[in-house]
Structure 1
Amino acid sequence: MDLPLIWAGVIATAVLLYVMLDGFDLGVGILFPFAKSPGERDVMMNTIAPVWDGNETWLVLGGGGLLAAFPLAYSVLMPALYLPVLLMLAGLILRGVAFEFRFRARKRGRKFWTQMFAGGSILTAAAQGLILGGFIQGVTVADQQFAGGPFDWFTPYTLLVSAGIVAGYALLGATWLMLKTKDNLHGDAKRWSLISAACTAGLLAAVSVATLFVHPRIALRWGFDLTQGFGLDWGVLGPLLPVPLLGLAGLILLVGSVQRSSHVLPFVGAILVFLSGYLGLAASFTPYIVPYAVDFRLAAAPDNALGLMLVGVVAILPAILAYTAWVYWVFRGKIDEDAGYHH
């Protein structure tokens, strides 16, 4: 068994599930300031109340799996990204506390915790964008240790990626609300979906082009030779074309179904857009787990440790998936103002 490859797949899957699942509930928080009334915010919160903390399970699996299965990668990436990781954790803690306190607060406190929930959601999404941007632009490594500065992750490029993540999460949140709400809030979610789809598409295109110039190595991976003007090798690009085409198909499905006021298809379209972006990243980086210095085989723990941990994952992962699916099934359907889930 190729244990390093299996573990790379497990962690990649956990991160993808985290981004798509926690993405929509962070998106609901990002959209909080645009709701028209406290009642609408209550409904928005109730759409994610049964699932939001379970969605964060995947972040624990992704981060913990990286530490356990690829300790060298963890030891290089964490010092490189300490500050945005701490910002992300602060945002997650803030929105978690706000979530619990908002339901119990009186008038003034309720307003405060509403602002904290929105602020925590935006902070978390922006920090994840800075982490992703810092990862894409590469980490300075010498002798298998981080050799850069504490603010290497803070560049115009990472700010662009961060804006893209915030817009993308808002899109997931808006389409989730189209799935879970009705009447006026469904109409608001329809408008938010179209606006955030336009922002996400524009920022995704800008990030894609900027990435080609930030890293000629990635440009070559996609068939663009920037040393020869803007030469294009269709033999290299051709096999990778389904990835951006998947994103385009998701965007077309999303916009078309939003305009028809569909309930399920906009969320499916948003998921396809995110899946396309994620596959594009995988195509750009493989086999590196620390761009562009350490591949996943070099960073892997010994096979006996990977094998032992895999036994645990094989036992636990189906239970987590089954529990997650069951919760989503139990709390399926639309949310009313007078009927919601409360802690």
Structure 2
Amino acid sequence: MLTAFSVMAGYALLACCYLAMKSRGAIRFRAAKLGRTLVVVVMAAMVLVSIWTLIAEPEIRERWFSGFNLLLLSPLPLLSLWVAQRLLRDLGRHRHEQRSFFLAVALFVLGFAGLVVGLFPYLVPRQLTLWQAQSPASSLEFMLPGVLIFVPLICAYTLWGYRIFSGKVEDFEEGY
């Protein structure tokens, strides 16, 4: 439940940063103000989930704290703190409106990276590993041509859509 709350708060933070990036005036100010609150909520939730995971899962605790692993893995939480600090600062200013959205995305990526480092090689803890979950080679070979054709098309279409709708919304009555 704590993880679900964390993800919900994270998506609300992404929405606030996106709205702050795409709007002006009172809407932008309100989204930035709510976003600053959500940064604190998301970071608190990330800390609580991390502590709970370390307490509840001895394998994950051992992975993080054995040998030089703490030294090697410490950039993840330190970068998360740095990104959160920059995000709080950028949401309080009217400059760098796009950077706040990308910092929120970076916070999500860092949280996901911490989760992967903690759970690897399991996809479902203590039940299903990455290698047990993979498809047979024949299925992967069958899918490869479709992936090579359609993933670039989907990426191009998505980039085209972002290009068409780039910039700020100027007229809230009629949209773009």
Residue by residue over 1:63-91, the C-alpha shift from the partner in whole angstroms, topping out at 9 and shown as x without a partner, is xxxxxxxxxxxxxxxxxxxxxxxxxxxxx
SS of residue in 2 equivalent to 1:289: strand
Match in the other structure for 2:82: 249
Q: Is 2:72 the counterpart of 1:239?
A: yes
Distance in structure 1 (CA, Å) of the matches to 2:35 and 2:68: 36
Q: In 1, Cα distance between the equivalents of 2:43 and 2:118?
A: 19
How far apart are the structure 2 equivalents of 1:174 and 1:286? 32
Which sections of structure 2, spanning at least 5 residues, go unmatched? none
CA shift in 2, pair 1:173/1:220, >3 Å = same
Q: How many residues align?
A: 174
Question: Of 331, 337, 340, which residue of structure 1 is paired with 2:165?
Answer: 331
1:167 aligns with 2:2: no
| Equivalence for 1:80 | none
Amino acid at match of 2:175: G
Question: What is the RMSD computed on CA atoms of the aligned residues?
Answer: 1.4
Identity over aligned residues, as a percent? 33
Q: Counterpart of 2:147? A: 313
| Contact 1:250/1:268 (8 A) holds in 2 | no
Q: 1-side partners of 2:50 and 2:24: how far apart?
A: 35
Q: Report if the CA contact (8 A) 1:171-1:193 is conserved.
A: yes
C-alpha separation in 1, matches of 2:68 and 2:90? 34
SS at match of 1:264: helix
Cα displacement (A) at 1:234: 5.5
Do the aligned residues in 1 keep the contact of 2:18 with 2:101 (CA within 8 Å)?
yes
TM-score (norm 1): 0.49
Q: CA deviation at 1:289?
A: 2.3
Amino acid at match of 2:162: Y
1:339 partner SS? coil
Check the 8 A contact 2:33/2:92 in 1, yes or no. no
The alignment status of 1:191 with 2:33, answered yes or no, reads yes
CA distance in 1 between partners of 2:161 and 2:48 (Å): 37
Q: Give per-residue Cα distances to partners, 1:94-123, cap 9 Å, x unaligned.
A: xxxxxxxxxxxxxxxxxxxxxxxxxxxxxx
* Unaligned runs of at least 5 residues, structure 1: 1-158, 224-232
Residue pairs, 1:43-82, within 5 angstroms? none
Following superposition, the deviation at residue 260 of structure 1 comes to 1.5
Contact 1:250 1:271 in 2 (8 A): no
Inter-partner Cα distance in structure 2 for 1:234 and 1:245? 19
Q: TM-score, normalised by structure 2?
A: 0.92
CA distance in 2, matches of 1:295, 1:266: 35
Does the 8 Å contact 1:180/1:333 carry over to 2? yes
Amino acid of the structure 1 residue aligned with 2:145: V
CA shift for structure 1 position 184: 0.6
Q: Confirm whether residue 206 of structure 1 aligns to residue 48 of structure 2.
A: yes
Instruction: For 1:78-117, list aligned pairs within 5 A.
Output: none
Q: Deviations over 1:295-319 (max 9, x none)?
A: 1222222211111112211111111
Which residue matches 1:69? none
Aligned equivalent of 1:275: 109
Cα pair 1:247 1:275 within 8 Å, conserved: no
SS at match of 1:254: helix
CA distance in 1 between counterparts of 2:70 and 2:98 reads 33
- Of 92, 99, 118 in structure 2, the residue corresponding to residue 259 of structure 1 is 92
Query: Structure 1 pair 297/329, CA: closer, same or farther in 2 (3 Å)?
Result: same
Q: 1:190·1:261 contact (CA, 8 Å) conserved in 2?
A: no
